[in-house]
Amino acid sequence: MPLDIEKYRHYVAGFDLSPEEQAELIRNVWMVLESFVDQAYGRHPHQHRRRDLQFKDLQDPIDLLESNMSYLPDETPRPKPDH
């Protein structure tokens, strides 16, 4: 969709900008919005939501603990020492 700068010029008319600066601002905002659309193109809203949910947990991220695996998944676990 081509950008029609004159269509949006009234939104920046109150700023102390020259017509060239107004056009540049409109183009910059247009490019940011266009990049958001490009990133979301082809994705269903459920895909966006599922991405957010994968980071949800019963714990807050600050309370999560990282632990190192003592063995690789294809290896046999080490026997527990007797105490």
Compute the average pLDDT of residues 38-52: 63
DSSP 18-71: -HHHHHHHHHHHHHHHHHHHHHHTT--HHHHHHHHHTT--SS-GGG------SS
- The structure tokens 């949910």 sit at 53
Token duo for residue 3: 């950008």
Distance in angstroms (rounded) separating the CA atoms of residues 9 and 4: 9
pLDDT reported for residue 53: 55
Closest CA to 30 of 52, 59, 1, 56: 1
pLDDT for res 1: 73
Question: pTM higher than 0.75, yes or no?
Answer: no
Mean pLDDT of 58-78: 58
